[in-house]
Chain A
Amino acid sequence: MTVSKKELDKVSECIERFKDKPGALLPLMHAIQDNIGYIPEDCYPQIAKAYNHSVAEVHGFVTFYHHFRRHPAGKNVLQICRAESCQSMGSEALEAHCKQTLGIDYHQTSEDNLITLEPIYCLGNCACSPAVMINDQVIGRVTKEKINNLIKKLK
């Protein structure tokens, strides 16, 4: 995966922005991901140099956190809560249904690049389990019908 010039410029901008901030790596990685959707490996050396880390350290940092993506996601990200409260209300069947409908497993993107499917561990919506998050929107008491409609709406 090669990074485009435009993406590289964005990354450089972010790197500049947090240069004097203590504990900069967290906000920096968020900014990069918010801007271009993922954190390209090609940028590790530049980040390492700017923040006085080794490339291995930058790699170690990005891979430690589940939230950070090393590859671009599809147009939408569908996260299904796998944690206990949602399990008690049938999230397992919901997971199976989504995987089957989309023809993909977790951490994969549908062929039309529409949806990336990811597991998540609690959305704080446990009062209305099972819960999913589509992009930044949480949806509660999700049924198969509800999820089918949501997926349809994304198309």
Chain B
Amino acid sequence: MSYKIYIPIDSTAKSLGANEVAHLIELKAQSRKIDLQIIRNGSRGLFWLEPMLEVETDQGRIAYGPVTENDIESLFDAEFFMGKAHPLCLGVTEEIDWLKKQERLTFARVGVIDPINIKDYEKHDGFKGLKKAIQLKPNEIVKEVTDSGLRGRGGAAFPTGIKWQTVHDVPSDKKYIVCNADEGDSGTYSDRMIMENDPFVLIEGMIIAGLAVGADKGYIYLRSEYPDALKVLNEAIETAKQNNYLGQNILGSQFNFELEVTRAAGAYICGEETSLLESLEGKRGMVRYKPPLPAIEGLYGKPTVVNNVISLATVPIILDKGAKHYADFGMGRSKGTLPIQLAGNLKKTGLIEKAFGITLRELLYEFGGGSATGKPIKAAQVGGPLGAFIPEAQFDMPLDYETFAKVNAVVGHGGIVAFDDTVDMSKMARYSFEFCAIESCGKCTPCRIGSTRGMEVIDKIKSGIDVEKNEKLLRDLSETMVDGSLCAMGGMTPFPVISALNYFPADFGLDKDLSKA
């Protein structure tokens, strides 16, 4: 009798030793003459429990974790491969509270299937969206996406359907679908998880985008920091080709679509869509002036859809289950679900897909379990390095694009980084400027020079030099950057800086109460 064991191949699970665990289990099974079938699945995203093994049983999959190399012997002694009791046993996976409380739409298959097994993908509703889309007129596909309320998950939250409509409406002999897989924001890894753990859903989303706007070529612009994703994507693309999901006359239709991965080269600014297109064309990633929009003149001057990985990977389920099904999740103008990534100083970090509307406090404390160090959480940075630091007083805000915008914060790509009370917020503000100085494309003076000046001014404030004058200078400089920058790199770096200054003046030596006395 053969037992089925799942061991994640996700790179974060591997960063905690999943490969070593898998190897040891294989050896141990051999020496004990137990017939194990080991499947390398994706990660469920419960990273404090990784490496997390699962065993297939009659009651469903049963999980064990976090498993270290030292636990293997006792796991075998307990006959874990039959789903038997062990101190690391977490029960039926789907019943784990953390997972059960989620609404997994985009991530429905992540952690469940073997990422590069196309049969597994098909068995779990894969390519259903595409098969429906192929029956529709391009306009009808676009309408479905528009009606779903899906907004770009890369940061700017622009309605995806409207972008597609624009590309659809421009007559052109050539159009492109470009997937923005540059995922540069600290605290984010949902793109990585999709690409490593369910690559076909991204491929399917891109094919549907091609059908909708009339594009026959797609590129995935993938950050160079993700070597695993590169391998998985290339393998998946090859398999999709062999199964006629890519190439000529897809699934017997008149539609052709080619897809390839281009490796980026470690420049944060190349996540900005026009810089990305320049880079893809083989140039320095200098940001372009808009207009023209990439939807009208994008790659090589042709109409181009540029969408984030999560935006594209969400399209298949919208087509499969219908726009309404998706739009019924969420609140206000933030429709559907967001794959939220908990990071930084938290006990339980990982991926949570939830409908918009959940509060930061629920995320940080109920899901996150509070800080890893056990100290109070002082601030959370949401939306990457250009997102504001949010103080405890605002933790009850619901996650919603408009609510966040009201306090000069952003939801962005859904990354949340928690800091405990040992953090010095003036240092974080200084780092925001430093990052901007390192990553600026150099086109605008406020961004290129202002970021370095900003670091100097913070240093002066901290050293107590002309404090009042320099605080004013810092605010003026930030205003100049917001107003005088071509893109959000220079235009939003002041958000984290000013939020740190406003909410945590004491960290800058600007204790307002003291100065009043």
Bound pair (A, B):
yes
Chain A residues close to B by CB (< 8 Å) = 22-27, 29-30, 51, 60-61, 64-68, 83-89, 120-129, 131, 133, 136-141
How many positions in chain B have a CB within 8 Å of any CB in the partner chain? 58
| A70–B267 CA distance with the chains assembled, in angstroms | 16
Chain B residues whose CB sits within 8 angstroms of the CB of A67 once the complex forms:
224, 264-267
Complex interface: chain B residues within 8 A of A51 (CB): 282
**When the two chains form their complex, are residues B265 and A126 in contact, meaning their CB atoms are under 8 A apart?**
no
Give B395-437 interface residues, CB cut-off 8 Å to A: 415, 417-420, 423, 428, 431, 435
Contact A129-B12, Cβ < 8 Å, known A23-B280, A84-B431, A122-B184: no
Verify B300–A125 contact, CB threshold 8 A.
no
Residues of B close to A66: CB separation below 8 A: 265-267
Residue B330 lies at the interface, judged by CB distance under 8 Å to chain A: no
Query: Per-position contact with A for B332-348: 1 when CB-CB < 8 Å, else 0?
Result: 00000000011111000
Q: Residue B490 at the A interface, CB < 8 A?
A: no
Decide if B47 touches A127 in the complex (CB within 8 Å). yes
Q: Are B268 and A121 in contact (CB under 8 A)?
A: yes
Q: Nearest-CB distance from B113 to chain A (Å)?
A: 20
The answer to whether B341 and A127 have CB atoms under 8 Å apart is yes
Residues of A within 8 A of B11 (CB): 124-125, 138
B385 cross-chain contacts in A, Cβ below 8 A: 83-84
A84→B186 contact, CB < 8 A:
yes
Contact, CB under 8 Å: B263 / A30 = yes
A50 to chain B minimum Cβ distance, whole angstroms, is 12
Stretch of B145-153, B158-166, B187-195 that contacts chain A: B187-195
A23, A124, A129: which contacts B192 (Cβ < 8 A)?
A: A124
Q: Across the interface, do A84 and B266 meet the contact criterion of CB distance under 8 Å? A: no
The answer to whether A89 touches B268 (Cβ under 8 A) is no
**Residues of A contacting B264 in the complex (Cβ-Cβ under 8 angstroms):** 26, 67
What sequence of 0s and 1s flags, for each residue 278-297 of chain B, a beta carbon within 8 Å of any chain A beta carbon?
A: 01111111000000000000
Q: List 15 A-B contacts (CB under 8 A).
A: A22-B282, A22-B300, A26-B264, A26-B279, A26-B280, A29-B265, A64-B284, A84-B428, A85-B343, A88-B345, A128-B12, A128-B15, A129-B344, A138-B12, A138-B15
Determine whether B349 belongs to the interface, using a CB cutoff of 8 Å to chain A.
Answer: yes
Q: Is the beta-carbon distance between B189 and A65 smaller than 8 angstroms?
A: no
Q: Are B281 and A126 in contact (CB under 8 A)?
A: no
B197, CB-defined interface residue at 8 Å: no
Q: Mark interface residues in B26-46 (1 if CB within 8 Å of A CB, else 0).
A: 000000000000000000010
From residue B368, how far is it (CB to closest CB) to chain A in Å?
Answer: 11
Once A64-B284, A84-B428, A89-B344 are accepted as A-B contacts, the answer to whether A128 and B47 lie under 8 Å apart by CB is yes
B82 at the interface (CB under 8 A from A): no
List A contacts of B281 (CB < 8 A).
22-23
Do the beta carbons of A133 and B344 come within 8 Å of each other? no
In the A-B complex, the 7 residue pairs with the closest CB atoms = A67-B266, A83-B186, A65-B265, A140-B15, A126-B343, A25-B282, A88-B344
User: Smallest CB–CB gap between A64 and chain B, Å?
Assistant: 4
Query: Given A22-B300, A67-B224, A140-B15, does the pair A125, B268 have CB atoms closer than 8 Å?
Result: no
Among A68, A86, A88, A122, the residue within 8 A (CB) of B225 is A122
Residues of chain B with a CB closer than 8 A to A30's CB: 224, 263, 265
- What are the residues of chain A within 8 A of B499 when measuring CB–CB? none
Contact of A25 among B268, B283, B300 (CB under 8 A): B283
| Interface assignment of B350: CB less than 8 Å from any CB of chain A | yes
Interface set, chain B 469-503, CB cutoff 8 A to A: none
Residues of B within 8 A of A64 (CB): 267, 284-285
Q: Assess A24 versus B282: contact at CB under 8 Å? Given A84-B344, A124-B226, A140-B12.
A: yes
Instruction: Give A27 to B375 CA distance when docked, in angstroms.
Output: 46
Q: Which chain B residue has the least Cβ–Cβ distance from A132?
A: B15
Q: Is the CB of B266 within 8 A of A65?
A: yes
A61 CB contacts on chain B under 8 angstroms? 282-284
Kindly list chain B residues whose C-beta atoms are within 8 Å of the C-beta of A127: 12, 45, 47, 189, 341-343, 349-351
Residues of B within 8 A of A24 (CB): 282
How many angstroms between the C-alpha atoms of A4 and B186 in the bound complex? 39
Is B445 part of the contact surface with A, judged by Cβ < 8 Å? Answer: no
Say yes or no: A122-B282 contact (C-beta < 8 A), given A30-B263, A66-B266, A88-B419. no
Q: How far is the CA of A82 from the CA of B415 in the complex (A)?
A: 16
Most buried by A among B225, B268, B349: B225
Distance in angstroms between the alpha carbons of A131 and B189 in the assembled complex:
13
Would you call A126 and B266 a contact (CB within 8 A)? no
Is B262's beta carbon under 8 Å from chain A?
A: yes
Residue of B nearest to A61 (CB): B284
Contact of A124 (CB < 8 Å), options: B225, B266, B284, B420 = B225
Which of A26, A27, A29, A126 is B415 in contact with, Cβ under 8 Å?
A126
